[in-house]
Structure 1
Amino acid sequence: MPRATRDGVSLSYDHERADSDGSSETIVFLQGLGFGRWLWRWQRQALSDEYDIIAPDTRGTGRSDAGLPPLVSRLPRRLRNPLISRVAGYSLAGLAADLDAILQDAGVRHAHLVGADLGGLIAQEYALEYTRAASLTLIGSTHGGPDAAPMPEETREQLFGAPSGSDRETLRNRMRPAFSERFTNRNPHLMDRIIEWRREQDATGAARTAQAAALTGGSVSDRLPQLTVPTLVIHGTDDRVSPATNARLLAERIPNTQLELLEGGSHCVFIENDDHVATLIRTALEEGLEAATAVDDMASPRRT
Structure 2
Amino acid sequence: MPLAFADDGTGLAYELRGSGEPLVLLSGQSNSRRWWDPVVADFAAAFTVVTLDWRGTGESDRPDTDAYSTRGFADDVAAVLADAGIERAHVYGTSMGGRVAQWLAADRPDLVDRLVLGCTSPGAPHGVERGPEVRRALTQPDQEAAARALRELMYTPAWLAAQRAAGRTRFHTLGDPSMPAHARRRHLRASARHDAWDALLRIKAPTLVVHGSDDAFNPAANAPLLAERIADARMRWVPGARHAYFEEFADVATPLVLGFLRGE
TM over 0.5: yes
Q: Displacement, 1:16? A: 1.4
| 8 Å Cα contact 2:90-2:114 kept in structure 1 | yes
1:13 matched to 2:14? The reply is yes
Match of 2:171 among 177, 188, 194: 194
Q: Which has the higher helix share?
A: 1
Alignment-mate amino acid for residue 14 of structure 1: E
Q: Indicate the residue corresponding to 2:23 in structure 1.
A: 27
| 8 Å Cα contact 1:159-1:175 kept in structure 2 | no
Alignment-mate amino acid for residue 85 of structure 2: G
| 8 Å Cα contact 2:12-2:52 kept in structure 1 | yes
Q: How does 1:263-274 map to 2 (within 5 A)?
A: 263-274=239-250
Q: Displacement, 1:209? A: 1.7
Q: Displacement, 1:143? A: 0.9
> How far apart, in 1, do the equivalents of 2:38 and 2:87 lie?
25
Number of residue pairs matched by the alignment: 261
Match of 1:65 among 39, 61, 67: 61
1:155 matched to 2:134? The reply is yes
Relative distance call for 1:98 and 1:154 in structure 2 (3 A) is same
| 8 Å Cα contact 1:184-1:191 kept in structure 2 | no
Q: Indicate the residue corresponding to 1:258 in structure 2.
A: 234
Secondary structure of 1:221's match?
coil
Relative distance call for 1:241 and 1:200 in structure 2 (3 A) is closer
Secondary structure of 2:170's match?
helix
Relative distance call for 1:220 and 1:154 in structure 2 (3 A) is same
Runs of 5+ consecutive residues of structure 2 not aligned to the other structure: none
Aligned sequence identity (%): 30
| 8 Å Cα contact 2:27-2:94 kept in structure 1 | yes
Secondary structure of 2:61's match?
coil
> How far apart, in 1, do the equivalents of 2:223 and 2:168 lie?
27
Alignment-mate amino acid for residue 267 of structure 1: H
Match of 2:41 among 24, 45, 61: 45
> How far apart, in 1, do the equivalents of 2:232 and 2:83 lie?
29
| 8 Å Cα contact 2:130-2:217 kept in structure 1 | yes
1:99 matched to 2:77? The reply is yes
**Structure number with larger C-alpha Rg:** 1
Alignment-mate amino acid for residue 276 of structure 1: V
- The runs of at least 4 consecutive aligned structure 1 residues that moved more than 6 Å come to none
> How far apart, in 2, do the equivalents of 1:255 and 1:129 lie?
16
| 8 Å Cα contact 1:236-1:265 kept in structure 2 | yes
Runs of 5+ consecutive residues of structure 1 not aligned to the other structure: 19-23, 70-87, 289-304
| 8 Å Cα contact 1:89-1:209 kept in structure 2 | no
> How far apart, in 2, do the equivalents of 1:63 and 1:161 lie?
30
| 8 Å Cα contact 1:89-1:214 kept in structure 2 | no
> How far apart, in 2, do the equivalents of 1:162 and 1:132 lie?
43
Secondary structure of 1:42's match?
coil
Give CA deviations for 1:163-218 in whole Å, capped at 9, x if unaligned: 625xxx764453332212221122114651326x8676663332122111111101
> How far apart, in 2, do the equivalents of 1:278 and 1:12 lie?
25
Q: What TM-score results when the alignment is normalised by the length of structure 1?
A: 0.80
Q: Displacement, 1:262? A: 1.6
Secondary structure of 1:55's match?
strand
Give CA deviations for 1:201-250 in whole Å, capped at 9, x if unaligned: 66333212211111110111112121100111110111011111100101
Q: What TM-score results when the alignment is normalised by the length of structure 2?
A: 0.91
1:284 matched to 2:260? The reply is yes
Secondary structure of 1:187's match?
helix
Q: Indicate the residue corresponding to 1:216 in structure 2.
A: 192
> How far apart, in 2, do the equivalents of 1:91 and 1:61 lie?
14
Relative distance call for 1:158 and 1:14 in structure 2 (3 A) is farther
Q: Indicate the residue corresponding to 2:114 in structure 1.
A: 135
Relative distance call for 1:44 and 1:11 in structure 2 (3 A) is same
Alignment-mate amino acid for residue 108 of structure 1: I
Match of 1:144 among 123, 134, 144: 123
